[in-house]
């Protein structure tokens, strides 16, 4: 059968990777930012999982093969949207749809809502995260463009401490950033423009 050659036949194969979409990986639910940083440092090749709307398809196509996924979805304090001074601060677990529907953000920086309306479709926006999209660094995506357009930056936390990375320095190439392998981006900062 043709289908057997495409996905494998569990009765005929001992190599289960032939019939699974993503490669094998270990999974860890982080309880804090410190826990996530520790796991990144201890497990080279680990990746952060927040919404997974970019990472999971990349894994299914075998474009990404992390040895471990570190789920940050349960970490408290990463789901906030704040207006601090002259910037909108978006935590690492904030969903696209939450930012899109924020009237406070719209009043301060309406261009974010306009851009978010072009991100995929509503079900994806309910699951995907702003920071995840920025870290994925797809050159055609709206959130990396908005971070760059507004002159924004991200906050990275790693074993060496916290650092601010300007958008112009963060995006190195298509789907490539200057985030160190043992760092986690905890927030994105969009300056409020006149």
What would the pLDDT profile of 34-50 be if each residue is shown by its tens digit?
999 999 999 999 999 99
**Would residue 6 count as lying in a domain?**
yes
- Reading the block at residue 170, the tokens are 């963060």
In terms of domains, do 47 and 105 share one?
no
148-194 pLDDT per residue, tens: 999 999 999 999 999 999 999 999 999 999 999 999 999 999 999 88
C-alpha 150/C-alpha 147 separation (Å) is 6
Q: Please give the average per-residue pLDDT across 98-113, as a whole number.
A: 97
Q: Is 174 helix (H, G, I), strand (E, B) or coil?
A: coil
- End position of a domain, from candidates 17, 45, 71: 71
In terms of domains, do 15 and 98 share one?
no
In terms of domains, do 61 and 146 share one?
no
In terms of domains, do 47 and 104 share one?
no
Opening angle at CA 62, ends 58 and 64, nearest 5:
55
What are the C-alpha distances in Å from 39 to residues 32, 71, 96, 143? 11, 11, 26, 27
- Reading the block at residue 147, the tokens are 């971070």
66-83 pLDDT per residue, tens: 999 999 999 999 999 999
Q: Please give the average per-residue pLDDT across 16-40, as a whole number.
A: 86
- Supply the pTM of this predicted model: 0.88
């Amino acid at each position: 059968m043709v289908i057997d050659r495409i996905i494998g036949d569990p009765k005929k194969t001992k190599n289960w990777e032939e019939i699974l979409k993503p490669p094998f990986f270990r999974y860890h639910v982080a309880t804090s930012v410190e826990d996530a940083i520790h796991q990144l440092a201890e497990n080279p090749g680990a990746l952060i999982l927040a919404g997974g709307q970019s990472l999971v398809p990349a894994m299914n196509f075998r474009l990404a093969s992390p040895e471990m996924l570190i789920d940050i979805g349960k970490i408290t304090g990463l789901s906030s949207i704040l207006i601090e001074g002259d910037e909108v601060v978006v935590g690492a677990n904030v969903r696209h749809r939450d930012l899109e529907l924020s009237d406070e953000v719209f009043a301060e920086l309406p261009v974010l809502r306009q851009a978010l309306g072009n991100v995929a479709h509503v079900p994806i926006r309910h699951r995907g995260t702003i920071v995840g999209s920025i870290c994925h660094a797809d050159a055609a995506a709206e959130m990396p463009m908005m971070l760059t357009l507004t002159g924004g930056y991200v906050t990275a936390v790693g074993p060496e401490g916290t650092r601010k990375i300007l958008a112009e320095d963060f995006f190195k190439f298509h789907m490539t950033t200057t985030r160190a392998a043992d760092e986690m981006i905890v927030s994105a900062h969009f300056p409020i423009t006149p």
